[in-house]
């Protein structure tokens, strides 16, 4: 096992969070905490079931993005992680975070196509023959940091939003853990 610590940020169902925990926690690395901005996030129960500490920092309780980001930064730093992984963390981040933590993000499109929070639907409905995912460094530009890894698949005849989404999740569940391990080994 690598002597490395990660913190995972999430906002929703947490399938990537759970996948990272199941594949890597106490094997390749230690997931020291999971932090969410949504008190109703499905991932909370998934992390707690694996005894991962979960912090809820509700963005609605903060007056602006900077004050939320300051609270998030303080919490992240308290764990002294080697790497922060954004796994479905649906917040626009300010330089308070982006300039002060080493973080990667998984995004459900072939960046630079379809940046933003509606990437799966936009990519599915577009005339592009392929869908895919990207893992990139978090920078000041939303979904614009340097790309670390990408994988794609062909849209098939009869593809539905559900089947398209399932292919994206399957790729994310393969590529994100692989990329995390690769980055931590190189540190």
What positions carry a catalytic annotation? 107
Distance of closest approach, residue 79 Cβ to ligand GAR, in angstroms: 20
Distance of closest approach, residue 166 Cβ to ligand GAR, in angstroms: 11
Distance of closest approach, residue 158 Cβ to ligand GAR, in angstroms: 22
Q: Which is nearer to ligand GAR, 78 or 116 (CB)?
A: 116
Report the sign of the C-alpha dihedral through residues 35, 82, 62, 66, in that order.
Answer: negative
Distance of closest approach, residue 21 Cβ to ligand GAR, in angstroms: 11
Q: Which is nearer to ligand GAR, 12 or 144 (CB)?
A: 12
Q: Which is nearer to ligand GAR, 80 or 141 (CB)?
A: 141
Residues in contact with ligand GAR by CB under 6 A are 10, 12-17, 43, 87-88, 106-108, 117, 119, 168, 172
Q: Which is nearer to ligand GAR, 128 or 185 (CB)?
A: 128
Q: Which residue is nearest to ligand GAR (CB)?
A: 88
Report yes or no: 105 and 136 within 8 Å, Cβ to Cβ.
yes
Q: Are strands 30-36 and 147-154 parallel, antiparallel or unpaired?
A: unpaired
């Amino acid at each position: 096992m690598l002597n490395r610590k990660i913190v995972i940020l999430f906002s929703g169902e947490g399938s990537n969070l759970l996948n990272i925990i199941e594949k890597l926690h106490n094997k390749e690395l230690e997931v020291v905490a999971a932090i969410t901005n949504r008190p109703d996030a499905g991932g909370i129960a998934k992390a707690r079931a694996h005894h991962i500490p979960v912090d809820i920092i509700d963005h609605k309780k903060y007056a602006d993005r900077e004050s939320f980001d300051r609270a998030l930064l303080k919490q992240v730093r308290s764990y002294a992680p080697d790497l922060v992984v954004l796994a479905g963390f649906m917040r626009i981040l300010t330089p308070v975070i982006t300039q002060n933590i080493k973080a990667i993000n998984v995004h459900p499109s072939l960046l630079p196509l379809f940046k933003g929070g509606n990437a799966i639907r936009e990519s599915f409905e577009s005339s592009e023959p392929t869908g895919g995912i990207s893992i990139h460094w978090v920078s000041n530009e939303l979904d614009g940091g340097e790309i670390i890894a990408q994988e794609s698949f062909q849209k098939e005849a009869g593809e539905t939003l559900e089947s398209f989404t399932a292919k994206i999740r399957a790729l994310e569940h393969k590529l994100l853990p692989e990329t995390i391990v690769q980055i931590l080994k190189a540190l």
